[in-house]
Amino acid sequence: MITILFNFKKVLTIKNQIIMAKQNFIPLNNYKEYAIDEMLERSRAFYIQIKTRRTVRDFSNRIVQTEVIENCIKAAGTSPSGANLQPWHFVVISNPEIKKKIRTSAEEEEKEFYSKRAPKEWLEVLEPLGTNEKKTFLETAPFLIAIFYKSYEVLTDGRQVKQYYAIEPTGIATGILISAIYNAGLVSLTHTLSPMNFLNEILERPKNERPFLLLVVGYPADDAKVPDIKKKSLQEIASFI
C-alpha cells in the first residue's frame, strides 16, 4: 500500500512539474461584453444557424480546400481541457488509398456488429434509418478526420504520465470542430464504430492514442437526403432551478 501511494505521489509530482512550472498569468483582454439586446440577438442568431445543421451520409467528391479544414481544427484546438493538457490528436485523411483501407476495415467491423454483436433492441432502433455495414462515404467524401485521445503522455525521457481527463475534453473539442465545419459551409458525419483499433495501425498512431471518433467531411451530394426527425424541446432537455 505504501509503495502504491509513493508511486502515485511520484506521478503527481512529475505531472505538476510539467504543468505548473513557471506558469504565467495574463490579463483577460479579449473578452467583449455585449448589451443585453445584442446578446439576445447573437444567441438567437447562432441557434437559428446551428439548428439547420444535419448529419449527412450522402457526400459529393468535390474538392475542399485543406486550409478550411486546418482552420476548423485550429478552432477545435481552443477547446478547454483539464490542466490544459490538450489530450487530442486529429489525423486528416485525403489520400484515396488510405481512405480505402479505412473503409475496408470499417465495413468488416460493421458487418460483425450488425450480424453478431448488436443487441436486437438497437437494431430495431436503427432499422427506420436504413443504416447497414456499407460505408461508401468513407471513400467518397474528400476528407476523413480521425480523432484520437491520449490515455497517457510520454515524456522525453520515456516516462509515462497518465491523462486523468482525456475523453471529456476530446468530446468538447469534437463538438467545436463539428460546429466550425458547418459554419464554413460543409457537412459532416460522426462515424462511431467499435472497436476502431485498426485506425492506429492504418494511420501509424502510437499506443497511447486511442480512437475517439471518425469524422467524415465534405459537401453534400446533389441528391442528398436526411431523415425527417425532430429534436427534443427545451423543456425536455433542460431544467432551470
User: Each residue of 15-24: pLDDT tens digit?
Assistant: 555 544 678 9
Domain count, the chain: 1
476523413: which residue's cell? 144
Assess if residue 2 is contained within a domain: no
Structure confidence at residue 132 (pLDDT): 80
User: Does some domain include residue 37?
Assistant: no
Q: How much is the pLDDT for 56?
A: 96
The pLDDT tens digits for 140-185 are: 999 999 999 999 988 788 888 888 899 999 999 999 999 999 999 9
**CATH (domain of 101):** 3.40.109.10
Model pLDDT, residue 15: 52
The pLDDT score that the predictor gives to residue 179 is 98
pLDDT, residue 3, reads 47
Q: What is the pLDDT of residue 23?
A: 81
Question: pLDDT under 50 in the chain at which residues?
Answer: 2-11, 13, 19-20
Q: What is the pLDDT of residue 117?
A: 79
Q: Sign of the CA dihedral 46, 47, 49, 50?
A: positive
In a domain, 193, yes or no: yes
Residue 35 lies in a domain: no
Question: In which domain, by residue range, is 116 found?
Answer: 55-224
